[in-house]
Amino acid sequence: MSASQPPQTPDFPTLLVKIFGKDRPGITAGLFDTLAAFSVDVIDIEQVVTRGRITLCALVTEPTAGTEGELRATVHSWAESLKLQAEIISGLGDNRPRGSGRSHVTVLGHPLTAESTAAIATRITGTGGNIDRIHRLAKYPVTAVEFAVSGCETEPLRTALATEAAEIGVDVAVVSAGLHRRAQRLVVMDVDSTLITDEVIELFAAHAGCEAEVAEVTAAAMRGELDFEQSLHARVALLAGLDASVVDKVRTEVRLTPGARTLIRTLKRLGFQVGVVSGGFTQVTDDLKERLGLDFASANTLEIVDGRLTGRVTGEIVDRAGKARLLRRFAAEAGVPLAQTVAIGDGANDLDMLNAAGLGVAFNAKPVVRKAADTAVNVPFLDAVLYLLGITREEVETADANED
């Protein structure tokens, strides 16, 4: 078999050369230098290094007649000289074709246990899927691994794994494979208890002395027990009479969720557009937009007359339906198909937005939201969403270091 005439049939003879041992520079080059003497063609290569131990597999064509024994002896001799182990297996053809239907399954654990990994793998197999490859995306502050799965469609796989994830307490995201995963995207997130750790209206209420009363109404609305617009008007009415200077005080009190800056900074580097929609107030979201370099921001607006809050809001109400409407508007303005959007939120009023987006992520969300969303992230780090997009921790850190 010559390099100018690659095999065309599925039953051509091949050799699988496997190398194991302590990793060091030059092993890969050394193996292929050794194989080059026998004029074989490379069909496939896979290499993994785990805790300083290398596993290197090379699938190559059969050498010229009468030289296979010499190839085997030469490879084993080279491996022994480096205190490595070698295994050479004869066979036919390339890897078997992957089944139709391909997905990326991202699993987040804090920690990721062997028991939960086994449960996820078993459920993948039970849906007819095959795990083609696994690699780690992050080792801290959470462990994130990605499974490349073929042989089953994305939607039934997502449904099966969502059920499993809820039972075993890990976060699992399933997205279809393909070029679209690397295309430019739009990410839109909720603000209160998502981008920031606070509920903005409660920060205002603390200055009005009615924090407990407002918090009770907010919690009921987020659980879906109250109509959002009615609850918004009831809470804002309690703020009537506050001096407008409270806006600046609230802005300084807002606390970003851990990982928020990293998430936005990384997405912007990748050419993503990022926006926020909020049932809170433009007096805060406009400031966040400027500070964080966001592309879009929309929220309700507190009415201020003669330097004081009137207890009313003005303009279009940003409620559950409004958030989904704004997601579509932002996508149209950004020139991004709705299928290429990611929405992140925690409350019942985020559900329409999460369902409308190509990928809806429930972030430390209420049970009703976790159940309805495509995937859930239940660790307190917003940048964990990056792993759902196939971005590794090492890539993020390298980009940060290069910028510094």
* Residues labelled catalytic: 190, 192
DSSP, res 300: E
Three-class SS state of 53: strand
CA distance 250 to 202: 10
Beta bridge partners of 109: 143
CA distance 231 to 234: 5
Structure tokens at 371: 């159940």
Beta bridge partners of 134: 147
Backbone angles phi, psi at 378, to 5 degrees: -115, 20
Q: How far is residue 1 from each of residues 42, 95, 105, 320, measured CA to CA in Å?
A: 11, 18, 38, 64
Element (H, E) at 283: helix 282-292
- The alpha carbon dihedral of 84, 88, 93, 96 has a sign of negative
One-letter amino acid for residue 20 of the chain: F
CA distance 236 to 314: 11
One-letter amino acid for residue 16 of the chain: L
CA distance 40 to 33: 11
Backbone angles phi, psi at 49, to 5 degrees: -120, 120
- The alpha carbon dihedral of 323, 329, 332, 334 has a sign of negative
Q: How far is residue 356 from each of residues 178, 279, 325, 329, measured CA to CA in Å?
A: 20, 18, 9, 12
DSSP H stretches of helix in 127-227: 154-168, 200-208, 211-222
Name every residue whose Cβ is closer than 8 Å to that of residue 6 and which is 6 or more positions away in sequence: 41
47 CB burial (10 A radius; 0-12, 13-18, 19+): middle
Name every residue whose Cβ is closer than 8 Å to that of residue 34 and which is 6 or more positions away in sequence: 74, 75, 78
